[in-house]
Amino acid sequence: MRAVTAAILMTVAACSPTGSVPTTIVETTEASPTSTSTSLPAPGCPDSADFVEQGRILRSDQAETDSAIVGLISWSESPACERFEISFETAQGAPATTPPDVRVQFISTLQVIRVHLGSSGAIISDQIVETAMVDRLFVVQKLDGNTFVDFHLRQPARARARVSGSPARVILDLQPGTGVFDGSAAIAGDVVMTGPADGASTATNIEVSGYAISSSGQVMVIATADGRVVAESTIAVGGSTDEWSEYRTRLSLPVGVTTIFAGEPNPVDGGLKGVTVGIEVR
């Protein structure tokens, strides 16, 4: 995971891989206490049933919502339990009472928990967290115009989530898990690549995805093998300098060791800046 320039791109290519209740709840976990106290009564989250370590954590659909903007994200810690709360605001900036549509899931590497939200704006873009289980979080503008929040884990976790109204909130509880990460996101500067993971073995047709803050309004994805470019794609993203935007593309690759770069032109030196991962294409 490192920034690259055009001058070193070919060198990198040669490297080896390394109160109000929701209107409709389709699927949810058992409700947990709503206290935001940083001191819980015993190690682990209260009523520790209904935690999962992979796949879907929660789905909640709403017939109506006044949640237009992701507000503050807060958290508390106690022995072996962490609680994160996502709040929401109306389009006028008032506290929202009904949460939006919510889907919470582990992404495939298990190192990121993604909270999909049916709201289109946010007052924050990312936060350093550095608790025992979460390193940082990103608030990302999705390709469909809605928002998701990615929690990047520091260790395997068990998770559960629920929604609450008046005020509108999504509550995510985490406990230490027993699983193993299949990989981690590559992060460098203003570019994050969530897939493929560094060192992964993949098929010849792959999806490259992540998010970026791109002043140029584009993300370039370049695959190199044996010192030559074997595939490339340019994706249009939001041109904001303070908002993370999702990118996603597919590449068809030859068999062998391949390096994937995602980033944008560097206006300072005319090269490229972004992240790289090494994969083994089989």
* CATH code assigned at 211: 2.60.40
Judgement on whether residues 108 and 38 belong to the same structural domain of the protein: yes
Supply the range of the domain harboring residue 98.
Answer: 24-176
Judgement on whether residues 127 and 156 belong to the same structural domain of the protein: yes
Structural domains in the chain (count): 2
pLDDT at position 14 is 38
* Among 86, 77, 60, 82, CA closest to 158: 82
This prediction has a pTM of 0.82
pLDDT at position 50 is 87
pLDDT at position 240 is 74
219 forms beta bridges with: 235
- The Cα 108–Cα 88 span in angstroms is 27
Judgement on whether residues 133 and 266 belong to the same structural domain of the protein: no
Cα–Cα separations (whole angstroms), residue 99 to 55, 62, 68: 22, 8, 9
- The Cα 29–Cα 52 span in angstroms is 10
Judgement on whether residues 103 and 211 belong to the same structural domain of the protein: no
Judgement on whether residues 30 and 166 belong to the same structural domain of the protein: yes
- The Cα 135–Cα 192 span in angstroms is 14
What's the first-to-final CA gap in the chain, in angstroms? 22
- Amino acid at position 240, single letter: S
Judgement on whether residues 75 and 125 belong to the same structural domain of the protein: yes
Q: Is residue 55 part of a domain?
A: yes
Looking at 142, 176, 210, which one is the last position of a domain?
A: 176
**pLDDT tens per residue across all 282 residues of the chain:** 444 433 333 333 333 344 443 444 444 444 333 333 333 334 568 776 789 999 999 999 999 999 999 999 999 998 889 999 999 999 999 999 999 999 999 998 889 999 999 998 899 999 999 999 999 999 999 999 899 999 999 999 999 999 999 999 999 999 999 889 988 899 998 999 999 999 999 999 999 999 999 888 899 999 999 999 999 999 999 767 789 999 999 999 999 999 999 999 888 888 899 999 999 999
Token pair of 266 as six digits: 């560097």
pLDDT at position 33 is 39
Judgement on whether residues 223 and 245 belong to the same structural domain of the protein: yes
pLDDT at position 120 is 86
pLDDT at position 31 is 38
pLDDT at position 218 is 92
Q: Are 134 and 120 in contact (CB under 8 A)?
A: no
Judgement on whether residues 10 and 56 belong to the same structural domain of the protein: no
Q: Is residue 94 part of a domain?
A: yes
Token pair of 49 as six digits: 């049933």
pLDDT at position 270 is 80
| Torsion region of 34: left, alpha or beta (phi above 0 gives left; psi -120 to 50 gives alpha) | alpha
Q: Are 166 and 148 in contact (CB under 8 A)?
A: no
* pLDDT tens, residue by residue, 47-77: 767 899 999 999 999 999 999 999 999 999 9
pLDDT at position 13 is 37
pLDDT at position 3 is 41
Coil, helix or strand at residue 47: coil
Judgement on whether residues 56 and 165 belong to the same structural domain of the protein: yes
Judgement on whether residues 205 and 170 belong to the same structural domain of the protein: no
- The Cα 276–Cα 2 span in angstroms is 7
Q: Is residue 229 part of a domain?
A: yes
Q: Is residue 190 part of a domain?
A: no
Token pair of 74 as six digits: 């807060």
* pLDDT tens, residue by residue, 194-225: 999 999 999 999 999 999 998 888 999 999 99
Q: Which residues contact 276 (CB under 8 A, 6 or more apart)?
A: 1, 2, 4, 12, 186, 259, 260, 261, 262
Q: Is residue 48 part of a domain?
A: yes
How do the residues of the chain divide into helix, strand and coil, expressed in percent and rounded to 5? 5, 50, 45
pLDDT at position 213 is 94
Judgement on whether residues 245 and 217 belong to the same structural domain of the protein: yes
Judgement on whether residues 30 and 154 belong to the same structural domain of the protein: yes
| Structure-token match 């294409």, residue found | 281
